[in-house]
Amino acid sequence: LVGLARGFSPGLRPRVGTGWPQLMQGLPLRPGDTLLLEAPDSWVQANRILHHFALLRRVAQPWRPRSVEAVVQERLKLAASLSALLLLLVCSALDLVSLLPLALSIAYALVSIGCISLDQAWRSISYRLVLTIACSFGPGAALTNTGVAAALGAGLVELQVLGSFGFLLCIYLTTSALSCFVSNSAAVVAFYSVLRDVRVPGLNSEQLMVAMMLGGSSAFATPIGYQTNLMVLGRGGYAFTDFMALGGGLTLVVGCVVSAGCLVFLADAADVPPAAPPAPPAPP
């Protein structure tokens, strides 16, 4: 069991006769100290709800001396895993192979050579996330069928007066604000039904989708926008207004960077409306 101490506490001072090593008895713990403990499950459950430790995590396997063959096998598996990750990134970035069959092939290969077990592969699938994404298509279809998506899209087109940078920034900020109160997958699916039919001169669909996608993953302004925000809310002693004060400014800064990056790196003349053809010459 690995424990990360939050700081000095009388309850955490090693005492004589409590099983602590002789050199540690009577020494207070400091913030950030990491302890390797041997304790029953009942002790873990009792101390997990206290504030003595910032983190309690069970060590999966006790340390045992390993043979040379086992070390070589581990290094080979590590090299195979890193190579598979690099292959996935390169092929996906260069658009050489479709992502789904490539990922399935790599997963099958990793299971075959023993990098992970079949049970670990199945347990790595987040069924809750898959179900959330699947259920999010319902509100998106409702927005489309009721005409709300078309009305919102027409309103977005009116923002063309802000220019290409301002339009992308508005998309980012709108999606980010929506994801602060609902899940990011639901925000992206709902907003996708609005943006998929929007055509803006000087911008292509890829720029719009990237701005929307990154905005949906930027729930900085509220503690309820994402699970990690809630994880640090109580432990760090933060308030709701702390997220709004710092996260609001961070959202604006990241939005400006994303909008500029979309204009610089994703410019594509294919979606830009072509110039008007030249007028035919006047007859003699």
Here the contacts of 109-116 (C-beta below 8 Å, separation 24 or greater) are 109/80, 109/84, 110/80, 110/81, 110/84, 113/77, 113/80, 114/77, 115/77, 115/80, 115/81
Amino acid at 57: R
- Say how many CA atoms lie within 13 Å of 219 toward its Cβ: 22
Pick the more confident residue, 218 or 140. Answer: 218
pLDDT category at 152 given cuts 50, 70, 90 is confident
What pLDDT score does 15 carry? Answer: 43
Helices 127-145, 184-195: axis angle to 10 degrees equals 30
What pLDDT score does 261 carry? Answer: 93
Sequence-ordered alpha helix ranges (H) in the chain: 41-48, 68-93, 99-112, 118-123, 127-145, 148-157, 163-179, 184-195, 205-216, 227-235, 240-265
State mean pLDDT over 240-264.
91
Query: What six digits make up the tokens of 241?
Result: 């207004």
Comparing CA positions, the residue from 112, 137, 251, 124 lying closest to residue 190 is 137
- 28 pLDDT more than 60: yes
Amino acid at 113: I
How many of the other CB atoms lie within 10 Å of CB of 214?
20
- 6 pLDDT more than 60: no
- Say how many CA atoms lie within 13 Å of 53 toward its Cβ: 18
Element at 15 (helix H, strand E): none
- 267 pLDDT more than 50: yes
pLDDT category at 19 given cuts 50, 70, 90 is very low
pLDDT category at 26 given cuts 50, 70, 90 is low
- Say how many CA atoms lie within 13 Å of 35 toward its Cβ: 23
pLDDT category at 250 given cuts 50, 70, 90 is very high
Query: What six digits make up the tokens of 93?
Result: 């970035």
Query: Of the given ranges (91-95, 153-157, 277-281), which has the lowest mean pLDDT?
Result: 277-281
Per the prediction, the chain carries an average pLDDT of: 76
- 21 pLDDT more than 60: no
The β-bridge partners of 255 are: none
Query: Of the given ranges (57-61, 124-128, 162-166, 212-216), which has the lowest mean pLDDT?
Result: 57-61
- Residue-wise pLDDT for 39-53, tens only, equals 777 777 777 666 667
Percent of the chain with pLDDT over 90: 10
- 213 pLDDT more than 50: yes
